Structure 1
Amino acid sequence: MNEAVFVVKVIDKAIHLSYNEYETIQIKVQFPVLRQKDSRSELTLLLWGDYRNDFLKYYKVQDYLIIQGTLTLKGYKNGENEPKVIVKRIYPFLLV
């Protein structure tokens, strides 16, 4: 499994998606600090269920989050590696 934990910053509003009878949202996030010049800094989060409702209720653009989830790559056959994280846990991250 590709389990991962990240600290990310929300950079775009949630996009509502529907898969069969499931309501999900897709959110663009980025890492707070770039480590290398050629590294990818953005991820897409997929949330559904209670996490979807909690995100819409409590979080907004420019918030920092700690996320835990499964990392996937879409489009690996045609060379377009778009990283996505299927979120299993989400927590607020406070910067003081």
Structure 2
Amino acid sequence: MNHALFVVKVIKNPIHLIYKELETIEIKVEFPAPRQKNSKNQLTLLLWGSYREDFLKYYKVQDYLIVEGILTLKGYQNEDNEVKVIVKRLYPFLLI
């Protein structure tokens, strides 16, 4: 399984998608600090259901989140790897 847990920062406003009867949102996020200069540090989160509603209600750009979900890769055969995470759980991350 591709189960993963991340701490990420929201960098763009959500994009609303409608597929059949499901309403989802895509959110661009990034890791707070990249480990290497040339490493990719951006992900796309896919949210629907109550997580979509909670995100739209409580979170905004520049917020930090703890995300638990399933990794998916698109375009893994070429250099344009796009990593998406299907969100299973979403928590706020507080920096004090």
TM-score, structure 1 normalization: 0.96
Identity over the aligned pairs, expressed in percent? Answer: 72
- In the TM superposition, what is the alpha-carbon distance from 1:76 to its structure 2 partner? 2.6
Q: How does 1:1-96 map to 2 (within 5 A)?
A: 1-96=1-96
Q: Which runs of 4+ in 1 moved over 3 A?
A: none
Structure 2 regions of 5+ residues with no counterpart?
none
Structure 1 regions of 5+ residues with no counterpart?
none
Question: Hey, what's the Cα distance between the residues in 2 that align with 1:80 and 1:63?
Answer: 27
Question: Hey, what's the Cα distance between the residues in 1 that align with 2:19 and 2:63?
Answer: 27
Range with bigger deviation, 52-61 or 69-78:
69-78
- Corresponding letter in the other structure for 1:52: R
- In the TM superposition, what is the alpha-carbon distance from 1:77 to its structure 2 partner? 4.3
Q: Give the alignment's Cα RMSD to 1 decimal.
A: 1.0
Question: Hey, what's the Cα distance between the residues in 2 that align with 1:75 and 1:61?
Answer: 27
CA offsets 1:61-91 (integer angstroms, 9 cap, x no match): 0000000000100123455210000000000
Question: Hey, what's the Cα distance between the residues in 1 that align with 2:69 and 2:61?
Answer: 20
The alignment of Structure 1 onto Structure 2 pairs a total of residues equal to 96
Question: Hey, what's the Cα distance between the residues in 2 that align with 1:76 and 1:36?
Answer: 20
TM-score, structure 2 normalization: 0.96
